[in-house]
Structure 1
């Protein structure tokens, strides 16, 4: 894999969680979340992006979201459960992405708001078509994802270097 080839990042917010009497980290998906996670997985598969690596928060709702979504993909990428993604700021998420090996071209990151939405906003120095408007109009609801592309090694990922290629959110 040449560093000259564009890299893609899919920023994927976990699906709708339930509110039982457990810690925030242990909140499971709600029924709607389980349905939306599978639909999001099919939509991710429809993008045709061959995901090489999944970076997933250790929270129950993100792990459940990924477990349901990944079954819809044509191949299962390596998955790393990363504690630093729970409640992470955009800067903290960038630090995790900067550690990605350069032989990885495409990453899906399953995380939480406001970090995921904030990261999509600050990475996107440009956008294709109406993707920025669609993302702004819908905000970044549960099970939504944004696809960004950038050139260079992972350690060069920083605000403004990416292009927002696609955005999808479930209908409510």
Structure 2
């Protein structure tokens, strides 16, 4: 792989979660979340990105989001459930992304706020059209996703190395 290899990172926030009497990690999706997750999956399919790898938080709401969203994709990517995504800061998420093998071109990360929004903000040195404005205005709601592009190795991902090329939210 060349250092100029184009790559994509898609950051998907879990769908709307319920607030039952349980630990935060074990919160399930709410009814709206179970409706929004497949819609997000259809929108992800509509991007035409063939994900090589999905990294999903181990929290119940992210696993349920992914289970519903992935059914809408034409091909299921290899999925790794990664406990380090839960409650991760943008810096911790960058460190995790830096571990990605260079045989991967398109990476999907299913996680939580404020990490997903913060990571998109920190990585994006520039944006296409009104994507940054839309992301900032909506605050990266549940079931939203951002698509970022960059050239190079996964080890080279750091603040300001990507371009925000798409942002979508279900109720925006």
How far did 1:3 drift? Answer: 4.2
SS in 1 for 2:55: strand
User: What is aligned with 1:26?
Assistant: 26
Residue 60 of structure 2 is matched in structure 1 by 60
| TM-score normalised by length of structure 2 | 0.98
The answer as to whether partners of 2:11 and 2:146 remain within 8 angstroms in 1 is yes
Q: Summarize deviations over 1:51-75 as a string: whole Å, max 9, x none.
A: 0000000000000000000000010
Residue equivalent to 1:136: 136
What's the offset of the Cα at 1:2?
A: 4.3
2:80 is the alignment partner of 1:102: no
Q: Aligned-pair RMSD on alpha carbons?
A: 0.9
Q: What secondary structure is seen at the aligned counterpart in 2 of 1:142? A: coil
Structure 2 CA distance, aligned partners of 1:125 and 1:101? 23
Match of 1:127? 127
2:148 matched to which residue of 1?
148
How many residue pairs get aligned? The number is 172
What TM-score, normalized to structure 1? 0.98
Aligned to 1:9, the other structure's residue is in SS state: strand
Secondary structure, in 3 states, of the residue corresponding to 2:149? strand
- Residue 4 of structure 1 and its aligned partner are, at CA, apart by 2.2
Q: Distance in 2 between matches of 1:143 and 1:50?
A: 19
What residue is the counterpart of 1:47 in the other structure?
47
Q: In structure 2, how many angstroms separate the alpha carbons of the residues matched to 1:20 and 1:134?
A: 31
CA distance in 2 between partners of 1:32 and 1:6 (Å)? 35
CA distance in 1, matches of 2:129, 2:171: 20
Where does structure 1 differ by over 2 angstroms across 4 or more consecutive aligned residues? 1-5
2:84 maps to: 84
Q: Secondary structure at the match of 2:129?
A: coil
Measure the CA separation in 2 of the matches of 1:27 and 1:134. Answer: 28
Secondary structure of the residue aligned to 1:155 is helix
> Could you list the runs of 5+ residues in structure 2 that have no partner in the other structure?
none
